[in-house]
Structure formats: C-alpha cells, structure tokens
C-alpha cells in the first residue's frame, strides 16, 4: 500500500501566525512581491540562502530526473526549515504553478512529497496561480492583490532594463543600485497606500523612473554587450545560474535580460493561439483575452517611457517578438518557453546584444530543442551573433561554465576591437 501525500491547509488563522517563504528568482521584482505580501497582511520572506547543501537536499528529496529548478527551489525551502531560518510549525511555502505542459506544473506536488519525506508534514504549500488550482482558504489572490503583483512585474522590468544599461557606465559606482532601491521603496509605499498600479499613475511613474536614470552621470566607453536567454528560472535566478550576471558585469560587460512581462504575455496569448489554430469556443478564451489586453497596456507604457531617451535601447514589444519568432519557428510551439526563446535570441541579436548566452537546465527538452536547435538559424540570420549554450545541473562544474563564458567573451572582445579600429 502506497503512502498518501499529506495536504495540510493554509487557514485564515495562519495568515497571522505563519511566515510565507518563497524562492528568490528576479531580485528587483521579488523585492516588490515581498513588500506587497507583507503590506497585504501576510508575513512573507524571500529565501536568499545559498550553498552546496541546497542542491544536496534537492537531490536527496527530489528524484534526480526532475529538472534542476525543482531541485534548487525545493532544496532551498528545505534548507531554510532544516537550518533554523524558519520555524516549521509557523511557516508556509508558496510555489508558482503554471498548469501547462512543463514539469513546473508538478512542482507543488513534488514539494509536498519532499516535505513529508523530510518530516515536515505540518507545513502548508500554497500554489500561486490564476487557474484556481489547489486554492487555500488563508491565501486570497484577489483582484487588487493580483493587480499590484502584475504592476510590480512591469515596474520591475523597467527598473531592470534601465539599471542594466546604466550601471556599467556610471561614474559614481553604486548610484544605479541606490536608485533602484529608492524606487522599490517608493513604489511599494504607493501600493501600501492603495495607489500606483492604475494605468494613469503608472504612466506618470514610468516617465519619472526613466528620467531619473537618464540623469545619472555616465562615461559611455564601448563595452561587450551580452544577452541572457533560456529557461525562466535559470535565466533569472542567481542561485541557479551561479551569479551569471555578476560574472559578466565583473568582466566589464553590459547585460541585457528580457523581461518577465514578455513571458506573462506569452502565457496569456498561448490559449488564444491554440483557439486560432485548433478552434474552440471564444467564450472559453475570454479570460485569456482580457488578461492579454490588460498586460499589453502595462507593457506599452513602460516601453514608451524608455523610448523618451535615445541612450537607452528599448526592449521589443510582445507583438514585435512574436513577429521575430514567427520568422524562426512556428508560434504554435509552446512547451516550456516555446517559440519565445528563439524570439528573444533574435531580439537581442537585432538590437546589438550579439553575445548571447542560452542557459538551460540539463534535461529540459523544450529548451534544448528550441534553444540549441535554433542557434544555427539565429546565426544564419544574424551573422554577428555569438551564441553559446550553458547547461546548469547538479553535475555541472562552475569552472567549466565559466571557461565557456570566457571563450565567448574572448570572441566578443576581438569583435569589439575590430569595430573600434574600423
């Protein structure tokens, strides 16, 4: 007889007594989320713990055929409970759940199973999704909270894009990060006061944000421009990619990372794309259509703010991305990051970020197929593209990853020197 996985409930009373732990993925964006949850009556904490024990715990409690992001996020949560960062009797865990074809849809069950095996049957798991999966009475993803979270993603993308283009050139080191922190604090306070996430206010705030970065004194010496694409967690998480962005910045590079809004628009658009291709009732697509149109408005006002200043590269809109993707691969290809991964590589190459690093969890088939398999086509269309794939998994040595990165950067440095001399 098989043991049943326990299903403890996050009750309304636990909202006052329990701390909700969640893995850190996007540093800027998730600082917003932590503030929003705390201001909404929850006790929330981003997990910043690192070290070899995290991966070891993941391997101990999650099957090693499961993808690397699951090993790390579950290992990080278990590490926090085991090592005294959090009280197991007064903690809950929250995990995003897409509901799609990716193995990420099973992370909540895998986490629950790992908690039971580690002796933490009392710890509730909250599924963060908008599909109604596994709802918990003590966690209410209501419309105001959802709007604040989505606005935070848009603000986060704007701050990430502007800071990445400013910090490599700032004349006073640390000024860009200080400005990012100041905006996170100010906008979080706006959310606490019940405003800052309507379209009119967001447009005004976005313009102020762009202007503030424009005013940072810079010394625009030519630098290697790198872009990072790949599986969503490994692309963004410093824990997962061994602090890839820091490594590139320490090697005097400017780094461009496509924003999370593109992925959210992609997730909203794919059910609509399915209906276009395969048919179905339009009524069943109404929620996806409404979400897609809503997110496009957020995207538009952020891009418009960046476009006011010629020194900044404006990220592609979702519409532009989809057109780029369609030139490479069918937009019906939607497992994992799907066609979006190819489109992001094309976007980076078209905007001068020729040195592209595609980060992939070993064994993530959608990313290997749509990432590695499309590199030849990307390089054919964009001859200057210098693309490399880096695998991240428990058996990947950091030194080997960095050696491959150094090879990419040596080629990039030669290309930059040729451009400078010509």
* Three-state DSSP class for residue 206: helix
Between β-strands 355-361 and 386-392, what pairing exists: parallel, antiparallel or unpaired? parallel
Mean pLDDT of the chain: 91
Closest of 232, 21, 32, 43 to residue 151, by C-alpha: 32
Query: What's the pLDDT tens digit per position in 191-246?
Result: 999 999 999 999 999 999 999 999 999 998 999 999 999 999 999 999 999 999 99
Quickly count: other Cβ atoms within 10 Å of residue 45's Cβ: 18
Q: Return the percentage of the chain with pLDDT > 70, whole number.
A: 95
In angstroms, rounded to a whole number, what is the distance separating the alpha carbons of residues 105 and 72? Answer: 16
Whether 348 and 236 share a structural domain: yes
In angstroms, rounded to a whole number, what is the distance separating the alpha carbons of residues 341 and 358? Answer: 9
Whether 131 and 231 share a structural domain: no
Final residue of a domain: which of 140, 156, 190? 140
123 pLDDT higher than 90: yes
Residues in the chain: 422
Q: How confident is the model at residue 101 (pLDDT cuts 50, 70, 90)?
A: low
Q: What is the mean pLDDT of residues 295-313?
A: 97
Query: Could you tell me which residues are beta bridge partners of residue 390?
Result: 359
Count of domains observed in the chain: 2
Q: How confident is the model at residue 282 (pLDDT cuts 50, 70, 90)?
A: confident
In angstroms, rounded to a whole number, what is the distance separating the alpha carbons of residues 222 and 208? Answer: 27
Write the DSSP symbol of residue 43: E
In angstroms, rounded to a whole number, what is the distance separating the alpha carbons of residues 258 and 156? Answer: 11
Query: What's the pLDDT tens digit per position in 404-421?
Result: 999 999 999 998 887 766
Final residue of a domain: which of 140, 175, 190? 140
Whether 245 and 128 share a structural domain: no
Write the DSSP symbol of residue 223: -
What is the span of the domain harbouring residue 376? 222-259+325-422
Whether 31 and 128 share a structural domain: yes
């Amino acid at each position: 007889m098989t043991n049943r996985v326990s299903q403890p409930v996050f009750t309304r009373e636990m909202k006052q007594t329990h701390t909700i732990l969640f893995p850190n993925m996007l540093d800027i964006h998730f600082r917003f989320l932590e503030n929003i949850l705390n201001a909404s009556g929850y006790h929330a904490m981003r997990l910043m713990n690192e070290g070899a024990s995290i991966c070891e715990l993941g391997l101990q409690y999650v099957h090693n055929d499961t993808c690397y992001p699951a090993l790390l996020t579950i290992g990080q949560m278990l590490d926090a409970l085991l090592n005294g960062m959090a009280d197991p009797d007064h903690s809950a865990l929250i995990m995003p759940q897409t509901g799609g074809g990716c193995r990420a849809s099973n992370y909540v069950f895998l986490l629950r199973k790992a908690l039971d095996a580690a002796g933490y049957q009392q710890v509730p798991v909250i599924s963060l999704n908008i599909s109604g999966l596994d709802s918990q009475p003590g966690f209410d993803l209501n419309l105001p909270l959802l709007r604040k979270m989505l606005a935070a993603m848009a603000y986060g993308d704007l701050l990430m894009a502007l800071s990445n283009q400013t910090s490599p050139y700032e004349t006073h080191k640390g000024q860009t990060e200080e400005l990012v922190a100041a905006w996170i604090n100010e906008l979080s306070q706006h959310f606490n006061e019940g405003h800052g996430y309507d379209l009119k206010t967001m447009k005004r705030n976005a313009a102020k944000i762009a202007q503030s970065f424009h005013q940072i004194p810079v010394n625009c010496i030519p630098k290697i421009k790198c872009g990072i694409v790949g599986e969503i967690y490994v692309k963004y998480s410093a824990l997962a990619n061994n602090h890839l962005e820091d490594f590139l910045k320490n090697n005097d590079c400017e780094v461009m990372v496509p924003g999370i809004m593109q992925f959210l628009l992609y997730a909203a658009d794919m059910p609509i794309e399915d209906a276009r291709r395969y048919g179905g009732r339009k009524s069943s697509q109404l929620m996806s259509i409404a979400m897609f149109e809503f997110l496009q408005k957020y995207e538009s006002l952020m891009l418009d703010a960046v476009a006011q200043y010629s020194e900044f590269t404006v990220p592609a809109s979702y519409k532009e991305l989809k057109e780029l993707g369609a030139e490479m691969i069918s937009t019906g290809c939607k497992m994992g990051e799907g066609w979006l991964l190819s489109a992001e590589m094309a976007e980076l190459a078209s905007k001068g970020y020729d040195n592209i690093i595609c980060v992939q969890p070993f064994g993530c088939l959608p990313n290997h197929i749509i990432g590695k398999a499309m590199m030849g086509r990307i390089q054919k269309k964009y001859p200057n593209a210098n693309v490399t794939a880096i695998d991240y998994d428990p058996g990947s040595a950091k030194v080997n990853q960095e050696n491959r990165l150094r090879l990419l950067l040596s080629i990039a440095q030669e290309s930059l020197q040729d451009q400078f001399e010509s």
